């Protein structure tokens, strides 16, 4: 391991919260082989008769195929931030180094970048089979272009998806200052919608980590008069009114694609209708669509509540988990 400032490692250890990031990572890997399966009939067929539907051995995503145990592009942004935190010697260099590592991991020469060209070819043949290799997201693609253009705020502006939250999650575990978190979020997802939904997730996770009896309700109570979170609170209330409804149907109602507010609302429904990590993640996978974006929030939330609830055999099959465990167990 590189020699790094003790303040950083000590902070990560003192908070004892890396299990939260582990929970997000394992949940993403669990959902990944069924990522972006929007056809409910096909999804039902893929999981029929399976004892466990998490981390399926064979890829069923219709768009891309990566090794079982690897994570989607959402959680991979978080992995880049985590590695940046571990390797950076000065606090003031974190954001700068994160951007450098984004270029290195997702940019020209990477497997993500190579597959960007392949995607253009696939579009011409109406996507008859998944491409081999990872999928770069619109936010990250724009971020790379903006970093190269030396823009001050580098995040993408065309879509409102979970990349900002995923980048901010590991950072949040050592620095929960809202001003700093906003900088991290906007470095990969630069819109007010991205910002407020990412912050809402982190605040709810924080309440869960503090063992609040009802983190979602407590968040609503705390911020119900806050204009910034007005839309978020309104959407949470819509979810709570449907608490007794079937999860798959509810996710379909809110939208099972990648965008906010649907991905946030579907996650909240999984949280308020589940009692533990495993049932919540399985429920999230079964709802289909962009289950990975929802799983990153759901997994982190339940890991915050009960770190020991992450199934150990899921952890063993999650490839990036090894690096996280190295620091948890040190």
Query: What pLDDT was estimated at residue 288?
Result: 98
Cα separations (Å) of 246 from 100, 233, 284?
44, 21, 12
The structural domains of the chain, with segments of one domain joined by +, span: 6-328
Band of pLDDT at residue 15, cut at 50, 70 and 90: very low
Average pLDDT of 131-150? 96
Query: What pLDDT was estimated at residue 328?
Result: 87
The most distant pair of C-alpha atoms in the chain lies apart, rounded to whole Å, by 53
On average, the pLDDT of the chain sits at 93
CB 202 within 8 A of CB 185: no
Query: What pLDDT was estimated at residue 178?
Result: 96
Look at the chain and count its residues: 330
The separation between the first and the last C-alpha atoms of the chain, rounded to the nearest angstrom, is: 12
Of 122, 117, 110, 261, which Cα lies nearest the Cα of 198? 261
Instruction: Inform me whether the pLDDT recorded for 1 exceeds 70.
Output: no
The C-alpha atoms of residue 237 and residue 244 are separated, in whole angstroms, by: 13
Band of pLDDT at residue 89, cut at 50, 70 and 90: confident
Cα separations (Å) of 181 from 75, 134, 175, 187?
17, 27, 8, 10
Helix (H) or strand (E) holding 133: none
Sign for the CA dihedral angle at 193, 136, 286, 206 comes to negative
CATH superfamily of 6-328: ADP-ribosylation/Crystallin J1 (1.10.4080.10)
**pLDDT-above-70 percentage for the chain:** 93
Average pLDDT of 184-213? 97
Lowest-confidence pick of 6-10, 112-116, 144-148, 225-229: 6-10
Both tokens of 71, joined, read: 């994570």
Query: What pLDDT was estimated at residue 118?
Result: 76
The C-alpha atoms of residue 230 and residue 150 are separated, in whole angstroms, by: 33
Radius of gyration of the chain (CA): 19
The single residue listed with the structure tokens 């900002």 is: 164
- Tens digit of each residue's pLDDT (9 = 90 or more) over 29-86: 999 999 999 999 999 999 999 989 998 999 999 999 999 999 999 999 999 999 999 8
- Tens digit of each residue's pLDDT (9 = 90 or more) over 244-285: 999 999 999 999 999 999 999 999 999 999 999 999 999 999
Both tokens of 316, joined, read: 């063993």
């Amino acid at each position: 391991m590189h020699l790094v400032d003790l303040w950083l490692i000590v902070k990560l250890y003192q908070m004892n919260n890396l299990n939260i990031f582990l929970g997000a990572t394992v949940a993403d890997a669990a959902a990944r082989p069924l990522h972006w399966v929007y056809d409910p009939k096909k999804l039902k067929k893929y999981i029929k008769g399976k004892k466990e539907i998490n981390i399926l051995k064979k890829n069923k995503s219709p768009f891309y195929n990566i090794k079982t145990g690897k994570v989607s592009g959402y959680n991979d942004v978080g992995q880049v931030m985590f590695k940046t935190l571990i390797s950076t010697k000065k606090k003031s260099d974190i954001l700068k180094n994160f951007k450098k590592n984004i270029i290195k991991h997702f940019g020209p020469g990477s497997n993500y970048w190579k597959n960007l060209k392949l995607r253009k070819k696939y579009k011409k043949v109406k996507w008859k089979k998944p491409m081999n290799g990872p999928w770069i997201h619109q936010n990250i693609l724009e971020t790379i272009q903006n970093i190269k253009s030396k823009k001050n705020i580098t995040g993408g502006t065309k879509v409102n998806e979970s990349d900002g939250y995923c980048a901010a999650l590991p950072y949040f575990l050592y620095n929960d200052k809202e001003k700093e978190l906003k900088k991290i979020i906007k470095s990969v997802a630069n819109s007010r919608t991205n910002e407020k939904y990412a912050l809402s997730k982190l605040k709810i996770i924080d309440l869960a980590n503090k063992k609040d009896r009802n983190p979602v309700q407590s968040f609503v109570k705390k911020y119900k008069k806050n204009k910034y979170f007005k839309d978020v609170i309104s959407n949470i209330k819509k979810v709570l009114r449907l608490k007794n409804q079937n999860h798959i149907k509810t996710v379909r109602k809110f939208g099972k694609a990648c965008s906010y507010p649907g991905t946030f609302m579907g996650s909240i429904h999984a949280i308020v209708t589940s009692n533990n990590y495993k049932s919540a993640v399985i429920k999230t996978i079964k709802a289909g669509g962009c289950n990975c974006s929802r799983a990153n929030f759901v997994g982190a939330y339940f890991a915050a509540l009960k770190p020991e609830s992450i199934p150990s055999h899921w952890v063993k099959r999650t490839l990036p988990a090894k690096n996280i465990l190295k620091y948890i167990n040190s």
